[in-house]
Structure 1
Amino acid sequence: MPKKPLSRHLERHRTDRIGWLRAAVLGANDGIVSTASLVLGVAAAGADQQAILVAGVAGLMAGAMSMAAGEYVSVHSQADTENAELERERLEIEQHPLAEHAELAGIYAARGLSPELARQVAEQLMVHDALGAHVRDELGISDTLSAHPVQAALASASSFALGAALPLAVIALAPARGLTAWVALTSLVFLALLGALAARAGGASLVAGAWRVTFWGALAMAITAGVGALFGAVV
């Protein structure tokens, strides 16, 4: 009786979202917090609505460029390290194949395979894709988690601009009287929604995600507004 082919059980995981999700959430969070904090500080110092809006727009542009450059440099450094490790591992496999086979077998044995089975698995993987096996199981680098500098930079810059545009829209539409309260309250709502959305995309607790982002955003805005009020009083 012929054996049935092994069926593939497809599962959806969220690890492929880690790179862009981290950059997007970080960018949007910084956009809301830094822009709202900036305009609240300027408002607390006594500036009028037009000056507050100009300061916010300048903060949006500067912040988006800073996020893109910082994320690109940071992630590119990670990519350079990964590439260097790949090249080093490639040379070791070419020059010391037996030692690399033993190293790979030791990894599988440490994970629970019997020594004999671990050697067999290592041998077959070395024949199939030696570098891929070592990169994945020895170095812990995979295509899903590898660094993508341009993707991270674009995600950070665009999400920062989108986040910063929210408090700016409030400034442009809200009445001059009570502007500070409007910006603060709506920014906290935006942060809560962002935290919940990020938590949902990552499969985490919505309440915890929303609370974490909102708390630190509120603290940043309060401190900046306090400094602005103090500076305005001194000047």
Structure 2
Amino acid sequence: MNKSIFLTSAARCGTHWVENILAYVLDLKIGLKRYIPNSDGRIFYNDEDYIEALKKEEEEKSGGFIYSAHIALNLLAPIIKFVNIIMLIRDPRDICISAAYFKLKNEKYEKKKFEQCLRKLLFDGGPNIDFNISSVKDKILKKTLYYEDMIKDSYGSLINVLDFFNYNYDKDRLKNGIEKYTFETLSKGRKPGEEDKSNHYRKGIIGDWKNYLSKEQNKEFCEKHKDLMKGWGYNE
């Protein structure tokens, strides 16, 4: 049985996409969820309660699961011996664009309301930015996986991750898994770049922030979050 995986990220980083591929390739079961009712009806609104329940599950079943949650790395110490930790990273500016649409997806689109929501996400912090800032500084053992690399070369990116943790896997099955969970499949027929503002899988491209931020806004964001941008290797 394969050792379990914990996939952590800020929201809007393609977490479910990567989770589905890895579960398929390594024959892992989807483990406990935080905000979605589990088979026994449990929902975990507290990080510590969720980690404790996950630890108990691993102690009882010894592997074979993949977990995903937006939890800062420093909270994962109690489970590090049970799971391999993968941190999914995405350009914070693209995260904010995607998060703004997600927050307003159940409302009629209004440009002014969208711009207000986006500015708040960009410059007033919020869970996505705070998550990334805390994780830049954390030294817990993990493998980082960039959303941009997954878009450009899913196969090579996942081989790098799987080999890092010494998993045994079938390369043909990996190719099949990537094909099974393409953006076109997940979005029910749209190609990357074809936008549906109300869909969880909205657009599926990188650098979308360039369509929304002025030069002044981008400069302001990069200055405000310069440690974060430098820490993850993103340029202005």
Query: What's the TM-score, normalizing by structure 1?
Result: 0.26
* Structure with the larger helix share: 1
- When Rg is computed on C-alpha atoms for both structures, the one with the higher figure is 1
Higher normalized strand content (fraction of residues): 2
TM-score using structure 2 length: 0.26
